[in-house]
Amino acid sequence: MRRILASLALALVLTGPALALTRNPAEMPAGRYELDKRHASVIAKVRHMGLSDYVVRFNTFDAHFDYDPKNPAASKVEVTVDVNSIDVGDPAISAKFAKEFLGGGEHPTATFVSTKLTPMDATRGTMEGDLTLHGVTRPVKLNIIFDGYTANAIAGQRVGFTAAGQIDRTEFGSKFLSPEIVADKVDIFIEAEFLKK
């Protein structure tokens, strides 16, 4: 019994009080934040034959950003995605889509580098940046939600974001089955947690 109580006491010391979550970005410390790949997802959705939304995910990606609470608009985000890691639930079709839709043979990596962050309020804003896909670089805009920041001895210093946007794939040279079978507009959804380095 003493051992159990001692273990519980140690757990309380290590974890402290319940995770305190703040939705105020000004309370987040300055520094570099790196993606926690175990708690992140990159999803894309495109209309198929006008009948349904076809949803895919990417399994390999990375990101980081630098943050200064005194100048949050200066934050710079850099993202890389292995386009050959596209997953549609069937390995053969996934490989075909990576090649035909994303040019994964010649251009295996897609990148996004932010150029402008515009806050709308304390937790929402827009992020503009340069997306390089299929060997073509074009500006895109994402809607960003600051989901919160927390610090804990076990969980670490971590912050969560939700991002969403839309691109026209033909502007990046992706014209396979366009537009009768697969629509040109692609919706992108990102959920990500970052850990302070």
Domain contains 13: no
Q: Tokens 């990500």 map to which residue?
A: 192
Q: How far apart are CA 130 and CA 115, in angstroms?
A: 7
Give residue 98's domain range.
Answer: 20-196
146 token code pair: 């600051």
Instruction: Give the count of domains, the chain.
Output: 1
Domain contains 98: yes
19 token code pair: 């995770």
91 token code pair: 């390995």
Average pLDDT, the chain: 92
pTM exceeds cut of 0.75? yes
Domain contains 115: yes
Domain contains 7: no
Digit-coded pLDDT (tens) for 123-170: 999 999 999 999 999 999 999 999 999 998 888 999 999 999 999 999
Q: The domain that contains 44 carries what CATH number?
A: 2.40.128.110
Asked if residue 6 has pLDDT above 90, the reply is: no
